[in-house]
Amino acid sequence: MLGKLLKHEFRATGRLILPMYAVVLLVSLFAHFAFRMLDRGLPVFLGLLLYLIVAAFFIGLIGAFVYTFVVMIVRFKRNVLSDEGYLTMTLPVSIHSILWAKIIVSLVWSAATVLIAALSVVIAAFEVGWVVEALKDLGYLFELFFSYDDKASVLGWMLSIALYAVVSGIVGCLNIYSCMTIGYGFARNKVLWSIVAYFIISIILGWIGGGSLQVLVSLNENVFTSETFNESFYQNFTLLFGSQLLYGVIFYVLTWWNLRYRLNLE
Amino acid sequence: MDTSFRQNEPIYLQLIERFKLSIVSGELLPGDKLRSVRDLALWAGVNPNTMQRALFELERNGLIYTQRTSGKFVTEDADIIGRVRRELAEAKTAEYLGYMRSLGLKTDEILATIKEKEEENANS
Amino acid sequence: MPILEAKSLTKRYGSNPALTNVSFAIEPGRIVGLLGPNGSGKTTLIKLANGLLQPTSGEILIGGMSPCAKTKSIVSYLPERINVPLWMSAEELIKFYSDFYADFEPNRAQDMLRNLGIGEKMRIKEMSKGTREKVQLILAMSRRAKLYMLDEPIGGVDPATRDYILATIINNYDPSASVVISTHLIADVENVLDDALFISRGEIVLYDSVDHIRESRGMSVDGLFREVFRC
């Protein structure tokens, strides 16, 4: 059933996200020509137009991320917590499946937005010489990697960072979802309560995080001194990854519990 | 869909009465096949269980019969139809007489009214 | 085994009681009217049966199970509001239902849409309120469910549509399935009901067959309702 949920989730959000990608890429194409023409002496109004296009490009880049984020939130609100919830929450699927479908799709679109943003920068700045330089740099990077004695370590770092990115993406999603399910449990001012919940949870987790770090340091002064980079990398990674996992579990249980026991659609 | 039922009486009883009337009046002929319970329920705008109950009662009275494979049929027994005709007529007559008596009419007056009305109908 | 059963079911919103100690059992093959004035707890009861609310105490069982993914696969629920995504077309919704409900019969939905002259390509948001409601009813009734829970299906529809809805319910009758229709417009549905479940201020005040009510009280369910709930 998760597969079917994913299919419909991608369709429902794709129809909103994909046109946005098309717009961003189109604007970056315009920006490409705008950049090229800026340093030629042009009439004032044309110059102004070019600056506007460049400005639109940068705003579009930021907008792409904001938009992806907004789609994720609005989708959850509409599909689970408002009228459509009557359909979604009576489908013969578990709440876990519904949640994971939303998380996975949000994650995929976030990653896609990063890629599209990168692609649009490449399009805007595209120049033959520049690409040659970039490829050279990339080749240099590979050379560096393969000349490094301890390839396994480098690979390990990269995988760890990738894993961390995925998990923190999931946790970020669940953070928002849990706050929305708290806010929508109230009879009135649901959006306001969601935001309040977000801040209260952030503050509490900040305290707990800061507090436990202090406890950790006070227990063992040497906890953050290490001999090698590898060692310190994994110390930090374990700490950050572990806390993300813990937050993730808390947010997941909170969201699930609210949807299971406290859901009260209007 | 016909939804005109009297308010104060179970619907299945009213359905039975309608079937009896149809059969006695010849609207449904002896040996005619009845439609399915679902169709009849749709036609009358009633619950299929109610229609089933009415048909069950009719079958108990011998007005219809079931052939295991092909459905329900109107009885071909003229005696039964005749008996039901008399029952309906008696019931209506009793009702009519009760009403006329409550108006204060005597038997000969009632008979005169009927005769008068029949002549009127014949002339028009 | 009853298809729908409530055992000492109580639901409170905060300190406001919505249902108090409600017990009843509905056997398969019945068309039951859940009858009561607005705010008597009809919708709360239906939402509890669909797992959209959790009981404060007591339990509600569908085929002996508490509401879960499995019970949802045998319950067809028509909420009193538009619950389908507005951007979807009737055709897309049919695919959606086919994907999730094993008992959904697309042919029947297509036939009913055709009978009512609703174009499959039309999006929900382009439809009038009445047409949207018809599409939802068609989707709900095109399933071969064991329990249909229709919340106010005839509230605010024109007489022709009301007749169509009632005819659909009769036509869909299955001796192994039950239908629960919540409404306060009793005269309109009375003829298609087997049983009447009167609910008032969160409590069951009467649960009897329509025939028996008429036989024993010499009045229609509608008449009795007006008497019981006289203001």
Q: Which amino acid is at A115?
A: L
Q: Does C132 touch chain A (CB under 8 A)?
A: no
pLDDT of residue B7: 83
pLDDT tens, position by position, A140-186: 888 877 777 677 777 888 899 999 999 999 999 999 999 999 999 88
Q: pLDDT truncated to tens, each residue of chain C (231 aa)? A: 999 999 999 999 888 899 999 999 999 999 999 999 888 999 999 999 999 999 999 999 999 999 999 999 999 999 998 999 999 999 999 999 999 999 999 999 999 999 999 999 999 999 998 899 999 999 999 999 999 999 999 887 888 888 889 999 999 899 999 999 999 889 889 999 999 999 999 999 999 999 999 999 889 999 998 888 876
Q: Summarize the confidence of residues A31-40 as an average pLDDT.
A: 82
Of A93, A128, B72, B119, the C-alpha closest to C51 is A93
How does the average pLDDT of chain A come out, rounded? 89
- CB–CB of C194 and B10 under 8 A? no
- To the nearest whole Å, the CA of C58 is away from the closest chain B CA by 32
Q: What is the ipTM of this complex?
A: 0.93
- CB–CB of C47 and A265 under 8 A? yes
The Cα A77–Cα A181 span in angstroms is 9
Neighbours of chain A (3+ CB pairs under 8 A): C
Neighbours of chain B (3+ CB pairs under 8 A): C
Q: Summarize the confidence of residues B41-65 as an average pLDDT.
A: 93
C-beta atoms surrounding A73 within 10 Å: 16
- CB–CB of C214 and B50 under 8 A? no
Q: Does C23 touch chain A (CB under 8 A)?
A: no
Please name the residue of chain C whose CA is at the shortest distance from the CA of residue B9. Answer: C214
Q: Does C104 touch chain A (CB under 8 A)?
A: no
- To the nearest whole Å, the CA of C63 is away from the closest chain B CA by 21
- To the nearest whole Å, the CA of C34 is away from the closest chain A CA by 20
Residue A210: is its pLDDT beyond 90? no
pLDDT of residue A218: 77
Residue B1 binned pLDDT confidence (cut-offs 50, 70, 90): very low
Q: How far is CA B53 from CA A33, B24, B47, C33, C144, in A?
A: 82, 20, 10, 19, 24
Locate C13 and state its tokens.
């919103």
Q: Would you give the distance in Å from CA B87 to the centre of its chain?
A: 10
Q: Which of C167, C194, C215 sits opposite B47 (nearest CB)?
A: C194
Which positions in chain A touch C84 (Cβ < 8 Å)?
A: 84, 87
The Cα C99–Cα A132 span in angstroms is 49
Between A and C, how many residue pairs show a Cβ–Cβ distance under 8 A?
56
Q: Running DSSP on this structure, what letter comes out for residue B21? A: H
B abuts C (3+ Cβ pairs < 8 Å): yes
Residue A128 binned pLDDT confidence (cut-offs 50, 70, 90): confident
pLDDT tens, position by position, B63-114: 999 988 888 999 999 899 999 999 999 999 999 999 999 999 999 999 999 9
Q: Summarize the confidence of residues A19-35 as an average pLDDT.
A: 93
- To the nearest whole Å, the CA of A231 is away from the closest chain C CA by 47
- CB–CB of C194 and B49 under 8 A? yes
B abuts A (3+ Cβ pairs < 8 Å): no
pLDDT of residue A226: 65
How does the average pLDDT of chain B come out, rounded? 90
Q: Which of C47, C84, C99 sits opposite A87 (nearest CB)?
A: C84
Residues near A128 by beta carbon (within 8 Å), at least 6 away in sequence: none
- H or E stretch at C51: none
Pairing of strands C195-200, C203-209: antiparallel
pLDDT of residue A48: 85
- CB–CB of C218 and B8 under 8 A? yes
pLDDT tens, position by position, A70-104: 999 999 999 999 999 999 999 999 999 999 999 99
pLDDT of residue A109: 97
Q: Which of C13, C69, C87 sits opposite A92 (nearest CB)?
A: C69
In a mutational test of the B interface, the residue from C170, C178, C208 whose CB has the highest number of chain B CBs within 10 Å is C170
**pTM across the whole model:** 0.89
- CB–CB of A92 and C54 under 8 A? no
pLDDT of residue A221: 64
- CB–CB of C194 and B1 under 8 A? no
Residue A254: is its pLDDT beyond 90? yes
pLDDT tens, position by position, C188-215: 899 999 999 999 999 999 999 999 999 9
Of A259, A253, A256, A252, the C-alpha closest to A89 is A259
Q: Report helix, strand or coil for A152.
A: helix
